[in-house]
């Protein structure tokens, strides 16, 4: 199972209580399930509004279980941002 780094931004960072953390996951769906389990408070609600970058590329509207993660990769968790 690939080891990846999950990076949280803005409201996701506040809800997770950390800027980043390592985890092992095969897919984006697996990674999100793991972070929901680790941070059961506010983070699951915040994740519903987030977009995700996988190694710098948007996950877009693809089903999360089809988005494969690579060893040493990064998952960026991006809540909606206001302003410009």
Q: Would you say the C-alpha torsion 70, 43, 21, 50 has a positive or negative sign?
A: positive
Give the DSSP H/E element, type plus range, for residue 33: helix 28-38
Task: Read off the pLDDT of each residue in 30-58 and give the average, rounded to a whole number.
Answer: 97
Cα–Cα distance, 78 to 52 (Å, whole number): 6
pTM of the model: 0.93
Structural domains present in the chain: 3-78 (3.10.20.30)
User: Is the separation of the CB atoms in 35 and 43 below 8 Å?
Assistant: yes
Confidence of residue 83 (pLDDT cuts 50, 70, 90): low
Whose structure tokens read 């996951």? Answer: 25
Residue of 77, 79, 34 whose CA lies nearest to 54:
77
**pLDDT digits over 60-74, tens only?**
999 999 999 999 999
């Amino acid at each position: 199972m690939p080891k990846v780094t999950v990076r949280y931004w803005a409201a996701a960072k506040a809800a997770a209580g950390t800027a980043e953390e390592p985890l092992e996951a095969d897919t984006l769906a697996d990674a999100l399930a793991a972070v929901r389990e680790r941070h059961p408070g506010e983070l699951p609600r915040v994740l519903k509004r987030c977009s995700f970058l996988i190694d710098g590329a948007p996950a877009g509207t693809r089903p999360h279980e089809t988005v494969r993660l690579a060893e040493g990769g990064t998952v960026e968790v991006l809540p909606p941002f206001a302003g410009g």
